[in-house]
Structure 1
Amino acid sequence: MADFKVQTPCTGLLPVTVGGLRLTEVVPRRMTSLAPYRGSAGALSAAMQAAHGVAWPEPGRMTGQAAARALWFGRELALLIGPEPDESLAAHAALTDQSDAWAVVQLDGRQAVEVLARLCPLDLREAVFAPGHTARTDVAHMAGSVSRLGLQTWQIMVFRSMAATLVHEVEIAMRRVAARQTSLL
């Protein structure tokens, strides 16, 4: 009889610390995609606000906090991260459980922007990509999502099957940024 064990996408790969940078795995309790039915976005936002305290996010933005967050995930698509979706949301949107589909990591550190600049084609300067901003983008040639949670805190998501590649690519970028900093001293 097989003995199956639950493993997170980054089991055995994280955490990684290089200089002042730290990469850790985040395992959300639940992730649910929300695709509003035609003409139902306003009602869905009201239902989300009533049930979870988060509103429908504007394009490129997220709403809420760590316990319940709504992340813009594409045209007419958001990702509810944290809570089990209230059943009232189903009247306004198609709900799809995404909990096992994504690897989610958090990058912290003063030079995190420099690391991400090596991995994705976005303008990540604070004046352009402030805390609360998010984007669907390439991350080291993988389809992913990058979100700025704080001044030095970033969330990166890729498909679960790419978790090891994500960790490898981010760690290489971390080492290169740290080496560059050391050589400038």
Structure 2
Amino acid sequence: MADLIAKTPLEGMDPVTIGTCTVAEVGLGTLTSISPYAGAKIADTFKTAHGMAWPAPNRATGKEGARAIWFGRDMVLLAGPEPDKALAKHAALTDQSDAWTAVTLSGAASEAVLARLIPLDLSAASFKRGHTARTQIQHMTGSVTRVGADTFLLMVFRSMAGTLLHDLERAMASVVARG
């Protein structure tokens, strides 16, 4: 019988720095989509279970290691901990751990890099820490969340991991070239 070894989408990738920006793969732990049933009141149960607020649309709550990311109408992605079993009474819980790849893009020019890939205003004045959006990242469906002053969490489908890295490297080089 073959021994199978779980690998991340960008297994073995060292962080890539071009100019002032660095892209690095991040492990988010367990990823669970939480879709409340019609009429369900999940916010209090979620807060009790995970110690963070249920996120409003286009917002994320929590911090590294335990984050709740708005992921679309009537859906939140819990990143980090296993979902508390009490949530199953109020929502459909679906393991998404193997479906996504996640990277952080950080650095002084991160907004300029993402301006080449994402059709949203990600300036600090408009897209503050804790803001999130489901959007296009170049030609891929993805998610962008500001997790720091100049740091963004980017997620795309696992099968697009290499493409995401390629597109980020090209955009980072473009920003440096215009320098």
Query: What is residue 29 of structure 1 aligned with on the other side?
Result: 29
Answer whether contact 2:102 2:154 (CA < 8 A) is retained.
Answer: yes
Q: How far is 1:4 from its partner? A: 2.5
CA distance in 2, matches of 1:112, 1:59: 24
1:41-85 CA-partner distances (Å, limit 9, x unpaired):
xx3111111011112111100111112111000000010111100
1:102-156 CA-partner distances (Å, limit 9, x unpaired):
0000001000000000001001111111111000000010000000001100000
SS at match of 2:177: helix
CA distance in 2, matches of 1:73, 1:170: 22
Asked if 1:158 is matched to 2:156, the reply is yes
Query: What is residue 9 of structure 2 aligned with on the other side?
Result: 9
CA distance in 2, matches of 1:5, 1:82: 21
Query: What is residue 127 of structure 1 aligned with on the other side?
Result: 125
CA distance in 2, matches of 1:162, 1:140: 11
CA distance in 2, matches of 1:15, 1:6: 20
Query: What is residue 18 of structure 2 aligned with on the other side?
Result: 18
Q: How far is 1:19 from its partner? A: 1.8
Q: What's the TM-score once normalised by structure 2's chain length?
A: 0.96
Q: CA RMSD in A?
A: 1.0
In structure 2, what residue type is equivalent to 1:23? V
- Runs of 4+ with deviation above 2 angstroms: 1-5
Given candidates 64, 73, 76, the residue that maps to 1:75 is 73
CA distance in 2, matches of 1:176, 1:132: 27
Deviates more, 1:46-55 or 1:5-14: 5-14
State how 1:92-103 maps to structure 2 within 5 Å: 92-103=90-101
CA distance in 1, matches of 2:142, 2:113: 16
Answer whether contact 2:47 2:53 (CA < 8 A) is retained.
Answer: yes
Q: What's the TM-score once normalised by structure 1's chain length?
A: 0.93
Q: How far is 1:29 from its partner? A: 1.3
User: Paired residues, what number?
Assistant: 179
CA distance in 2, matches of 1:180, 1:97: 42
Query: What is residue 53 of structure 2 aligned with on the other side?
Result: 55
Query: What is residue 39 of structure 2 aligned with on the other side?
Result: 39
CA distance in 2, matches of 1:34, 1:86: 11
| Percent identity of paired positions between Structure 1 and Structure 2 | 55
